[in-house]
Amino acid sequence: MKAEPRTILRFLLEYFDIISELYDTQSKDGIITFETLNQITEKHGFDIKIQLLEYKVLSNVNENYEIRTVYYNLIEFILSEFKPMLPETIEKYHISIAELFRKIREQLNGDKVLLNQRISELSNEIRSFYEMVEKNTISLLNETRELKANVKKVDYREKIIRASRWIDEYIIPLNKILDINHSASIANKLYDVSEFSNKYRLNFDDENTRVQFERLYFQLIQVNDNLLRQSKILTNELLPLIERIRTESIILTGWITFLKNPYKQKVPKILKRKEVTVYSQDTFFNAAEIFEQFKNEEDVYFDEVEVEAEKWIFDKEHYTQKLKENLPVDNFFKWCNKTLKDDYKKVEIEKFFALTSLAFDENLLLEYTAKPEYEKIKINDLTLTVPKIKINNHGIS
Amino acid sequence: MEFPNHHRQIVEDLMAGKFILPTERTFEVLKENEDFYTQFFKASFNYDVRFTQDYVYMVSDESNEMLSRDMCIFIALLSYELDRDGKNFLERIQYSEFEMEEIENYLTNSSYIDLILSNKQLKDAESRRNFINTLNRRNIIEKIGDNRFVFTSAHKFFMDFASDIVKFENASEGN
């Protein structure tokens, strides 16, 4: 590399917007095409293609480009934008750590230089392993929170699929890796390494090796603490959160499906209330429930039907004529009663009084006995006490 | 013959279609005498008692299907509207109080307004108030005063139903 380290770092700082955009492109598409590189640099108004290649930020892949791993990891780390890794990728550390540890144990009394080298390599592997676990936890948390907020408006069904995939493919296997009680887990293997290094940091003839074991031991104390914390994040925070997303999405998808056609779906059985005796303590509430069923029926309106009763009009002329024909009348009130009975069968009091008004006709001459005589006339349920009035022929003018 | 404590209360409540909840004294008695009550209701009425950790309830072939459907519609609408409003609907239904005013707002502004207006129990404020009383009597909600209520653990009965819709759908798609 020809350029000075500070020049490269200054370059990265100055053109970080372009580099960050190139990073996004590669993360999304896996590669940066020649056209995309041109578009991005032109957009920002700086043609830095030559420097990007000269400083080995980019490398050629056929006609296209990609960011070199070292820079990619640096930007990923700076942006904390990690993609969840499949546990299979992390599982490879199980093999490398176990293998180095086996060789250290077996050749403990062999070449000291090689032994120290192996302890150092083991330490590096453990560090890489922990960093990968941490990155994965962060990325899974970010992804889960994003899914929870649903900024990208992910469909409910897609949410169920994603949540299920993360649980089954990432979180549960990762949890197994971190489960110290699981004999095949990496955490369990690290525990063995820790025990071993603790023993030999105090009891080994070569001082350099003792120091190496000491460093490894303290590194492992720290790593174990951190792994425990990651494991807690997974079990206490991430797993319940993502389980909840999954459950919620399932329920909501179910309700949306139901609401599409609520009257054609089968519904759960709810017991039909039984008729109960009127002596029950709950009679009031039971009655209320029964009546409430009808409470919301459509309102029914009845138009008031007018009963067209024939209105009786007193025909004074007709009855005056009738009276004339019957003169003389010995008992006027009796005559009224009889006349109405003949005409209507049933005598109504209203008609009766109307007919008696003939007695007030000035043209009629009424005769009374000296001593008033009264008699009773029964009209329907009413008994009237009326005086005896006589009307003579002569009375008519 | 000896019967478990609160036997009469248990029979009356279950026969009235109530969900019996862990907060009630009868719940414990029912759980302790699960076999007895299973047989008792089967032999006496041919009813099945369902025991879960969140509620106990009774089912028969004579189901109040209309009421059940209306309950499902109500909870479905509420879940949908809460989610649309950016709320965590499951947590809200599980742990929070609701005010009638809030329910009114959600239902009157819902995009499912046609469905709501065509439903006798949900079509207007008065119907909804009566419906809430019905839910209260069945122990699906617990009223706190006239205008507020909380859902009881019996709401899970309906949430399980919603989950089953997806499971059955997926199963039938898989076949």
Three-state secondary structure along A359-377? HHCCCCCEECCCCCCEEEE
State the residue for tokens 């009868």.
B26
Q: What is the pLDDT of residues A218-262, one digit of tens each?
A: 999 999 888 888 888 888 888 888 888 888 888 998 999 999 989
Burial classification of residue A62, based on how many CB atoms lie within 10 Å of its CB (0-12 exposed, 13-18 middle, 19 or more buried): exposed
A358 vs A317: CA distance, rounded Å: 10
Say if A277 falls within a structural domain.
Answer: no
Tell whether A75 and A95 lie within a shared domain.
no
pLDDT of amino acid A397: 38
Q: Which of A193-197, A277-281, B101-105 has the lowest mean pLDDT?
A: A277-281
Query: Which residues in B115-138 are b (16+ Cβ under 10 Å) and which e?
Result: bbeebbbbbeeebbebbbbbbebb
Say if A267 falls within a structural domain.
Answer: no
The answer to whether A349 touches A312, Cβ cutoff 8 Å, is no
- C-alpha dihedral over A278, A281, A283, A285, to 10 degrees? -170
pLDDT of amino acid B174: 56
| Selected residue with higher pLDDT from A128 and A45 | A128
Say if A271 falls within a structural domain.
Answer: no
Say if A390 falls within a structural domain.
Answer: yes
The answer to whether A197 touches A217, Cβ cutoff 8 Å, is yes
Pairs across A and B, CB distance < 8 A: 126
Q: How distant, in Å, are the alpha carbons of A18, A25, A53, A71, A76 from that of A14?
A: 9, 19, 16, 15, 18
Q: In this structure, is the dihedral angle defined by the CA atoms of residues A335, A341, A343 and A347, taken in order, positive or negative?
A: positive
Q: What is the pLDDT of residues A174-192, one digit of tens each?
A: 888 888 888 878 888 999 9
Q: Which of A207, A188, A218, A221 is nearest to A115 (CA)?
A: A207
The answer to whether A51 touches A11, Cβ cutoff 8 Å, is yes
Compare CB distances from A271 to B64, B123, B130 and report the shortest one's residue.
B64
Tell me whether strands A390-391 and B56-59 are parallel, antiparallel or unpaired. unpaired
Say if A299 falls within a structural domain.
Answer: no
Tell whether A174 and A200 lie within a shared domain.
yes
Tell me whether strands B97-99 and B148-151 are parallel, antiparallel or unpaired. antiparallel
Say if A149 falls within a structural domain.
Answer: yes
Burial classification of residue A60, based on how many CB atoms lie within 10 Å of its CB (0-12 exposed, 13-18 middle, 19 or more buried): exposed
CATH 1.10.10 fits B65-171, yes or no: yes
User: What are A319's strand-pairing partners?
Assistant: none
Q: Tell me whether the omega of the peptide bond preceding residue A328 falls within 30 degrees of 0, making it cis.
A: yes
The mean pLDDT of A142-154, rounded to a whole number, is 75
Measured between beta carbons, the chain B residues lying within 8 angstroms of A248 are 83, 88-90
Tell whether A26 and A128 lie within a shared domain.
no
pLDDT of amino acid A195: 92
Tell whether A115 and A254 lie within a shared domain.
yes
User: How far off is chain B from A239, nearest CA to CA, in Å?
Assistant: 16
Residue-averaged pLDDT of chain B:
90
Residue-averaged pLDDT of chain A:
82
Q: Do A268 and B58 touch (CB under 8 A)?
A: no
What's the number of domains chain A is made of? 3
Binned at pLDDT 50, 70 and 90, residue B102 comes out as very high
Q: Do B65 and A289 touch (CB under 8 A)?
A: no
Q: Give me the interface pTM, i.e. the ipTM.
A: 0.92
Tell whether A141 and A230 lie within a shared domain.
yes
Measured between beta carbons, the chain B residues lying within 8 angstroms of A252 are 79-80, 83, 89, 162
Best residue of A267, A274, A282, A284 to probe chain B, by most B CBs closer than 10 Å: A267
Tell whether A72 and A97 lie within a shared domain.
no
Binned at pLDDT 50, 70 and 90, residue A147 comes out as confident
The mean pLDDT of A345-359, rounded to a whole number, is 81
Tell whether A357 and A321 lie within a shared domain.
yes
Interface of A with B (CB under 8 A): 160, 244, 247-248, 250-259, 262-263, 265, 267-274, 280-282, 285-286, 288-289, 292, 295-297
pLDDT of amino acid B2: 83
Compare CB distances from B69 to A160, A250, A267 and report the shortest one's residue.
A267
The mean pLDDT of B4-18, rounded to a whole number, is 90
The answer to whether A260 touches B165, Cβ cutoff 8 Å, is no
Tell whether A210 and A352 lie within a shared domain.
no
Binned at pLDDT 50, 70 and 90, residue B144 comes out as very high
Q: In this structure, is the dihedral angle defined by the CA atoms of residues A197, A198, A204 and A210, taken in order, positive or negative?
A: positive
Tell whether A243 and A177 lie within a shared domain.
yes
For residue A360, give its domain range: 316-395
Domain boundary (A223, A243, A260) is at A260
Domain coordinates of chain B in residue numbers?
Answer: 7-59, 65-171
Domain boundary (A55, A79, A103) is at A79
A58 vs A99: CA distance, rounded Å: 35
- Taking 70 as the threshold, does the pLDDT of residue A265 lie above it? yes
